[in-house]
Amino acid sequence: MEAVAKLKNCPMSARKMRLLVDNIRGKNVNEALNICRFTNKEASEWIEKLLISAISNWEYKSNGNSAEDFQLYVKTVFSNEAGMLKRIRPAPHGRAHRVRKRSNHVTLIVENRIPLESTAVEDNSGEEAEEN
C-alpha cells in the first residue's frame, strides 16, 4: 500500500529542490529523514515536513499500523515548476529589469516493503459465512 503527500506552491525554485529530492529517492524513510535533518539547505525543512506527512498518511490509511514495522521507503518523489511571481527591479537609465520569483510543487509517495496482512478482509468474510 502506498500513501501520497503533496506540497504545492513552495516558494523556492524547482532546481534547488531537486538537489535534495534526488538524494532521498528510493531510500528508507528513517534514512531519508536523517538526510533531511542534517542537510544544510532550505529545501530540507520543506521535504522533512512533507515526509512526516506522508508517513502519517500511510499510518492512517493502514488503520493505525506502525510505519516502523513495515519498512516504509520513498517510492517516488519529484519536484515540478509552479507559477512564477513577476516583479520589477529598477535599473540604470530609467529602465526596469524583471525579477522572476519561482515556486514549485513537490509530490512524495511512500510504500511499504513488507506486505500488509489483510486481516480486515478475513474478518469480514468470516462473519458473512457465519450469517449464511
E strand or H helix at 49: helix 42-61
Give the domain ranges of the chain: 2-131
**Per-residue pLDDT in tens (0 to 9) along the chain, 132 residues:** 999 999 999 999 999 999 999 999 999 999 999 999 999 999 999 999 999 999 999 999 998 888 888 999 999 999 999 999 999 999 999 999 999 999 999 999 999 988 887 544 445 555 555 555
Q: Which CATH architecture has domain 2-131?
A: Alpha-Beta Complex (3.90)
> What's the order of all strands across the beta sheet hosting 72-81?
2-10, 104-112, 72-81
Question: What pTM did the predictor assign?
Answer: 0.82
pLDDT tens-digit readout, 35-63: 999 999 999 999 999 999 999 999 999 98
**The three three-digit cell numbers of residue 81, written as one number:** 515548476
